[in-house]
Amino acid sequence: MNKHEAGASFVITAPSIVTVAATMTTCNVIYNSITYTTVCSVTGQVITVSTGYTIATAKGVSIAIAVGPLTNPITNSATTASFTLETYTGSSLLYKIDTISTGLVPTFDCTYPCKTCNANQMT
């Protein structure tokens, strides 16, 4: 990941087989063991994470982005195609910093169609 100034925004695009809720109840950026509560907006499969990530990050560091709810694939598969992540300098999404479109594959804790479950009970 390249350097990000304070106020960076993130755009996540989920694969079409993942159900993205119209409203995110979880929308956080985690950096250096600190959780930043951010604002998420949803349009179809696209989740925009903006406003609230208030720290600059150096090139090469890792951050985590937690959003949800997302529902595992209707194909009853435990994995999906990769999500896409784009980073921007600010909430206007005017200047793109990075794009990654491979390797962002979550592991779902259960098989469709469960509402909630844990890793010990997969259905």
Within a domain: residue 119? no
Which residue range is the domain that position 40 belongs to? 9-100
Whole-number percent of the chain with pLDDT over 70: 81
75 to 1, 14, 17: CA distances (angstroms): 32, 15, 7
Whether residue 29 contacts residue 48, with contact meaning beta carbons closer than 8 Å, is answered with no
Domain count, the chain: 1
Predicted confidence at residue 121, as pLDDT, reads 55
pLDDT at 28: 94
The reported pLDDT for the residue numbered 13 is 97
- Look at residue 45 and tell me if it is in a domain: yes
More confident position, 20 or 116: 20
Q: CA 25, 30, 31 angle in degrees (round to 5)? A: 165
pLDDT tens track for 69-113: 887 776 666 667 899 999 999 999 999 999 999 999 876 666 655
Average confidence (pLDDT) over 28-36: 91
Average pLDDT, whole number, for the chain? 85
In the block, which residue shows the tokens 């529902």? Answer: 71
Summary count for the chain: helices (H), strands (E): 0, 10
- Tokens of residue 44, six digits: 């179809």
- Examine residue 123 and state whether it is found in any structural domain, yes or no: no
Asked whether residue 48 is assigned to any structural domain, the reply reads yes
Residue 39: inside a domain, yes or no?
A: yes
Q: What is the mean pLDDT of residues 33-62?
A: 91
Q: Which residue has the higher pLDDT, 116 or 61?
A: 61
Of 117, 118, 109, 3, nearest to 56 (Cα)? Answer: 3
Res 118 pLDDT > 60? no
* pLDDT score, position 77: 65
- Residue 88 in any domain: the answer is yes
109 part of a folded domain: no
